[in-house]
Structure formats: C-alpha cells, structure tokens
Amino acid sequence: MRRLKKSIPVILLVAGLLQWTQMPAASGAARLGRPELTAQPDSSRDEAGYFIDPAREPRLSRKALVRLLRKRIKYVFVIFNENHSFDNEYGTFPGANGIYSDGLKRRSPEATPGFTQTYTDNLTGQTVTVRPFRLGPGQNSTVVDSVDHSNPGMIAKFDVVKGVPRMDGFAKREYQRFAGPPGSTPTPARQEEGTQFARLVMSHIDCDTIPFFWWYASRFTLFDNIFATEDGPSTPNAIAMISGQVGQTQWVKHPSSSGGLAAKVGPNSATLNGAPVTKDCQPFWGSQFDTTRVGRQPAGTMEYYANDNISMNLTFATLPLTFQGKEVLKTMRGNLNPRSDLSDIRQDIPYIDHVGAAPVNWGWYQEGYDHEASDPPGVASHRSYVSHHNGPQYFGYISDTPAVSAHMHGLTDFFDAMANNSLPRGGVFYIRGGYANLTGKKPVITDPKTPADEVAVIRGAKAGDDDHPVYSDRQLSEAMAARVINAIASNPAIWGQCAIIITYDESDGQWDHVPPRILSYGPNGLISRGARVPLILISPYARTHAVSHVEGDHNSVIETINSIFGLPALASLPDEASAMKKGNSPRFNRFAPAGFKQKHLGPDDIESPISGSLLSGFDPLRLTAKAPPLPASFALIDEKVVNSFPHYNGRGCKAIGVVPEDVRQAIGNKIPEGFNPLPATCPATSYPDVERY
C-alpha cells in the first residue's frame, strides 16, 4: 500500500490543529471493534498517486475540520437513488464490512448474521436453505425484480429477538408472502413465486454489473455503516432525507393523527394517512384532496392515487425550512395557509431567524416533475414522475409557499443549469431519476441468450434511471449518476468547491447482514432504523481509496450539510426538541417493549456515538492545503464509456481494476438451479447453475 508522499512537509504536524494518531474507534465502528476509518486494499496505479494512508494521517479537531469545510465547500450535491441494501451492491467490495469480510479480516458464514436462511416448503414440508449468491451479466443482473420492503415486511425480515435484529427472516418472508403461512397449499404459480423471491432476496452483485459505482467507491470514500432512517419503503425515507425523521414529532404533538385524518373529495369520504409515515402514500399536495388553483403541485400519471393512499399535510421541520436562514420570517409570510401549514413550526421560525444564518440556495431536481427533454414541446407529461419519492412535496410550508416550492424542478432543469452555468452560486442540490430516462435508452440485456419475447418485456418494463428494481436498470441508473458527476466535474468553479454524495433511500428489503440499532417504535411497531444502504462521498477534498465505518442514517447527510453551511440542527429547534422530550414518556413508551425509552422520536442530526456525520470522508491534508485537491479528471468517466452499454462489455471488475472479496478468497458462486431474477416481470425465465472464482 502506498504511504504518505515524502513531498508533503512533515512540519505541518506541529500545527496546533493537528495531531498524529490512528483514527480512533468511534460511533458505530466501536461496536464492530474497528477504527473509524480504514484504507481499501490494492490501490490501482492511478489511485496510488493520490492515496494517503488514513492510519498515518493527522487528525483535525472537529471544530477545525468544520471551519475548513466551510471555507472549501460551497456546493453539496446529493444523488439520491432507490432501493438497494449495502450487501446487495457492495457486499463483496474489498475493505468494506460485507458478506465475507468485516473489511479488515475474513469472516465465516457462522459469524455473519442471516448468512444461512431457512423456511418450510408448504408443499413438501421440508426445510429449504438459502444462502447469498452473486448475479452477473450472464443472469441479466442489471434488471431484477423488487422484493418486499414494506414496514411489516421489514419487521418480519429483521426478526428482532430481545431487542436485536437477527437478520434471518428475509427468505422466509418472501416465500410466505406468496406461498402463504405454514400449512397453506399454494397454487403452482404462487409456489414458484415464493421460491424465486426467497432466492432473489439473498442475491448480490459486483463491479461487473455496476462498474461506475464501484469505481467511484474505490477512488473516493465508501461508507459502510449508514442505514435507512425508517425500516420501510421509499416515501418515509425520501421525507427523512430532508427532515431526519418520518413524522415522529408530528405524532407526538397530535397523537390521534396516527390513525389518519378524515377528508372528502367530491361525494367520497376517505382517511388521509397520518404520521409517522410508514408507507408509500402520495403527497397531499397535488392529490385529489388539494384545492390549490394556481401553482398546484404535479401528480405522477403512473402513480397510485386511491383515496386511501394520500398523506396528510406534513408540518415538522426540514432542511428547506432552515435553508431560509435569516430570511425565514419574510419567506413564510408568503405561505398560503399558515393556520395549518405552520402550526408545528411556530417556535422554530423565530428561532431560525434569531440564529441569523445566511440563506442557503437549494434545489430538488427530480425527473418528470416538470417539462423534460423527453416530453413533447411545451407539454409536461409527468409520466416519468414518481411523486411519492419527492420528499419536499409532502410539506405544506414548502408546496403551499410559492417562493419555496419554486426550488423544485425537473431533471432536465439540472442539466440545463449546468450547461448554461446558471446553477445558483453555492447551495445544496438533490438529484433524482424516475420511471424513464432522459436519453431514451432501453434496458441493458447482458445475456445474449435471452429469448426475444423476454427482451421485449424487459425493455418495456425497466427503462428507469433511479435504480429502483421495479422499473429501473442498474446501468441506466449509474449512467445517469455519471452524467451528473461529469457535469459537475467539467465545471472548474463548481468542482473545486463541491461535495457529491451518492446514496439510497432504503434497501428494497434485500438482505443485509448488519443489524441496525432500534431507535424508535411507532403505533404500528418498529420505525427506526432500516437496513444498511450504500453511500459514497466524492470531492476534491475527499479521502482516496478509503472506507469510513461511522454509523448513521439520512441524518448523517443532514448533519454534514448543517456543518458546512452553519445551520442549526433540526433536533435543536424548539418545536422538535420539545416534542422529543415529550415523546420519552409512558404515553409513547408503551408502543415499545417494556423498558425501552423513546429517546429518538424525531431527528438525530446532532453528532453522537450512534449518529455521525460524513466528515470522516474528508482528507485533513487536502483541506489544509498540505496535499493538493483531487483533480476533476479523477472523477470523470468518458462520455463514450457512459453511453456504451453494457458498460465495459460486462467485464467491469477487470476494467476498473477491482477484485471483489469473494474472488480474492476464491469463494465459489453457487446460483440456485432454475433461479429466475425476474419472477414477476418474466415468470418463465430461469438461469443454469453457474460457478465462478
């Protein structure tokens, strides 16, 4: 492993801000007996030229680190993808806590929670065993089906015993949701679905399938201990990305709202879904219950808008509130319905004003929100818009305040702003894909033996680019992310002052072996946390070829943004702080097991042993100008490569020079006989038994 370059002056170590030491065991890393930060093995020749061994680096105090970040970083971009667990995408990434290694040493299957999963076959009465296996291009691994990621489904998959998730109920849950509970007699079709989904939930991929994402993870900093905030589907975690919670404080303030709120549209009565949010309900704003005439929020034409699938108005604090800084009083005067929209932030607003932070530019760029390049001229079809993924749209003080809702855009708007150099100067910008992709590309078929009729079905079903298994293709999704990063890195003024975060909302219910901490319970059971999700930090000031083991969730992103832009923590705001204090009481503790204290019914964006920021991913020497920042070329992928499918002709690992952990250990790959990765999309498909070392 290449060590610290001799050209970097050692005298910098005497600076009062720095001290030589190995990164200490901290936060979630302490649970695992590891340092907070470790180097990845086997850096490539290109990476070695920029590699600085974290074990030999100076360590900045948090105060000094934050001060330097505020000086260096002016732009934060969050590429917010959908539905993959960490082990599903990075379970064999070298140096990470994955399926076969804790990142430092090998780990046996017996020491890996949930490695061996079992269920009882309803037709034979026999015990069926399922273990992890790898999918590759020979199984069309860029397109798979989605598994159960509902709140009840995740509770069953975690299999919590005495407060600790055993992570061994994944295969059983998938089998039983199709084949029925023990003793049922499933039809042949339901039996087949149950069998295949029980296998699919234990599958994983590597750099042959998503080489771009692994390339970024190898060159910059991969975080392997970040969890979904809520143990359920996309909507709650899209909300949590900007709020650090799923409505626990709103529930505490209005306990009866958990059962929903009566509403009426035309002659039909319905109940709006209440807080905390634990399902994929649609935002109130833009729904059939929204009476807004001018500036109405869009509704996705491919979305499910039944009367019983609409959220109530959300009213707790978010980053788009604190982003307003000292302009918050002026901005909130423009809200169109302050009695309801501002009811739960009345103390927060003057507090934010008193803090007096400078306003922060922000934008939420989501495909299909408005007119896209793929739409006919002048017509916004919204066909690619996944409205239940737009976190800001759920809040009345955002959607119902014209000056604030103006920060929501379509995906084309982002690329146009970058091309025209019209992005606001500095700020936080979220990027999300959707049901389609702006380039019009079809899904990638990597198995040449795929029958023509199945190719047609796949191409009609999987053209999305936000990585959601239901409708997206993994390489279309990583290509979208690469275009975003290329656009940023191609602008010297922006690249030199940016941090890019690639992360996910939740796990899709795919198996991950790391048990999350249980932080809170709601009226329907377990709420927080969910399973691990991937996160990569890219920046000219990022560590190279490193893995951070700091524990956190979407609050980690929020806390990092707070630090860079000098914003008050959401958890420190008076309305949220008082609700969290009130939540730790018999009235709310009764929803948890005996003795459990509800200390986390709200945001967790204050640094603590269980909720850390992403600051460990920044390199002290680069921040102090003792080592040069990483050049834009280090993050650029040639556009010809981005637009060539399949990426690297299905040999991504060789192309990017990364050897997955199972290959390093010569662990054979046993794909179950007759396995079908598309049991819903193409029920007749199956793939042969395959071995690879």
What confidence tens digit (pLDDT) does each residue in 177-216 have? 999 999 999 999 999 999 999 999 999 999 999 999 999 9
Please state, for a pLDDT cut of 70, what percent of the chain lies above it: 94
Closest by CA position to 297, among listed 311, 308, 283: 283
**Do strands 535-538 and 18-20 pair parallel, antiparallel, or not at all (unpaired)?**
unpaired
H or E segment to which residue 117 belongs: strand 117-120
- Rounded to whole angstroms, the Cα distance separating 504 from 486 reads 20
* Range 445-456 average pLDDT: 92
pLDDT in tens, 365-422: 999 999 999 999 989 999 999 999 999 999 999 999 999 999 999 999 999 999 999 9
For residue 29, what pLDDT is reported?
Answer: 56
pLDDT in tens, 518-556: 999 999 888 899 999 999 999 999 999 999 999 999 999
For residue 35, what pLDDT is reported?
Answer: 83
Q: How confident is the model at residue 15 (pLDDT cuts 50, 70, 90)?
A: very low
C-alpha distance across the termini of the chain, in Å: 24
Q: How confident is the model at residue 11 (pLDDT cuts 50, 70, 90)?
A: very low
- Rounded to whole angstroms, the Cα distance separating 136 from 141 reads 5
pLDDT in tens, 595-616: 999 999 999 999 999 999 999 9
| 10, pLDDT greater than 60 | no
- CB atoms near residue 167 (< 10 Å): 23
Does the pTM exceed 0.85? yes
Taking all residues of the chain, what is their mean pLDDT, rounded to a whole number? 91
For residue 8, what pLDDT is reported?
Answer: 32
For residue 33, what pLDDT is reported?
Answer: 64
H or E segment to which residue 127 belongs: strand 127-130
Helix pair angle (474-489, 411-419), 10° resolution: 30
Please state, for a pLDDT cut of 90, what percent of the chain lies above it: 86
* Range 350-361 average pLDDT: 97
CB 527, CB 230: distance < 8 Å:
yes
- Rounded to whole angstroms, the Cα distance separating 425 from 521 reads 41
- Rounded to whole angstroms, the Cα distance separating 303 from 387 reads 7
| 685, pLDDT greater than 80 | no
Comparing 29 with 188, which gets the higher pLDDT? 188
| 581, pLDDT greater than 70 | yes
Q: 363: exposed, middle or buried (C-beta count within 10 Å: 0-12, 13-18, 19+)? A: buried
CB 92, CB 204: distance < 8 Å:
yes
pLDDT in tens, 63-100: 999 999 999 999 999 999 999 999 999 999 999 999 99
To the nearest 10°, report the CA torsion of 412, 416, 419, 424: -110
SS (H, E, C) 337-349: CHHHHCCCCCCHH
CB 244, CB 604: distance < 8 Å:
yes
Q: How confident is the model at residue 9 (pLDDT cuts 50, 70, 90)?
A: very low
For residue 293, what pLDDT is reported?
Answer: 86
For residue 227, what pLDDT is reported?
Answer: 98
The dihedral built from the CA positions of residue 533, 23, 29 and 209, taken in this order, carries a sign that is positive
Closest by CA position to 391, among listed 415, 412, 365: 365
3-state secondary structure of 214: helix
For residue 152, what pLDDT is reported?
Answer: 92
Q: How confident is the model at residue 585 (pLDDT cuts 50, 70, 90)?
A: very high
- Rounded to whole angstroms, the Cα distance separating 546 from 41 reads 9
3-state secondary structure of 59: strand
For residue 92, what pLDDT is reported?
Answer: 97
- Rounded to whole angstroms, the Cα distance separating 468 from 138 reads 21
Residue 554 tokens read as 């979407």
3-state secondary structure of 116: coil
For residue 267, what pLDDT is reported?
Answer: 80
| 303, pLDDT greater than 60 | yes
- Rounded to whole angstroms, the Cα distance separating 692 from 688 reads 13
| 689, pLDDT greater than 90 | no
Comparing 2 with 46, which gets the higher pLDDT? 46
Q: How confident is the model at residue 323 (pLDDT cuts 50, 70, 90)?
A: very high
CA distances from 333 to 65, 358, 431 (A): 36, 18, 28
| Rounded CA Rg of the chain | 24
CB 154, CB 232: distance < 8 Å:
yes
CB 107, CB 91: distance < 8 Å:
no
| 28, pLDDT greater than 60 | no
To the nearest 10°, report the CA torsion of 48, 49, 53, 57: 180
Q: How confident is the model at residue 14 (pLDDT cuts 50, 70, 90)?
A: very low
Q: How confident is the model at residue 31 (pLDDT cuts 50, 70, 90)?
A: low
**Do strands 427-432 and 362-366 pair parallel, antiparallel, or not at all (unpaired)?**
parallel
Residue 340 tokens read as 């309801």
Cis peptide bond N-terminal to 631, omega within 30: no
pLDDT in tens, 118-149: 999 999 999 999 999 999 999 999 999 999 99
H or E segment to which residue 240 belongs: helix 234-243
CA distances from 641 to 500, 636, 645, 649, 679 (A): 21, 11, 8, 10, 31
| 692, pLDDT greater than 50 | no
For residue 264, what pLDDT is reported?
Answer: 77
Kindly state which CATH superfamily the domain 72-95+210-641 is placed in. Answer: Alkaline Phosphatase, subunit A (3.40.720.10)
CB 206, CB 92: distance < 8 Å:
yes
Q: E strands, 182-295, where?
A: 203-204, 221-223, 261-265, 268-272
Residue 254 tokens read as 């209005």
| 1, pLDDT greater than 60 | no
For residue 584, what pLDDT is reported?
Answer: 96
Longest dimension (CA), the chain: 77
Q: What is the DSSP string of 458-515?
A: HHHH--BSS--TTTB-HHHHHHHHHHHHHHHHT-HHHHTTEEEEEEES--TT---SSP
- Rounded to whole angstroms, the Cα distance separating 539 from 604 reads 25
* Range 469-494 average pLDDT: 97
Domain regions of the chain by residue span: 10-66, 72-95+210-641
- Rounded to whole angstroms, the Cα distance separating 495 from 218 reads 19
Q: Please list, residue by residue across 599-637, b when 16 or more beta carbons sit within 10 angstroms of its beta carbon and e when fewer do.
A: ebbbbbbebeebbbbbbbbbbbbbbbebbebbebebbbb
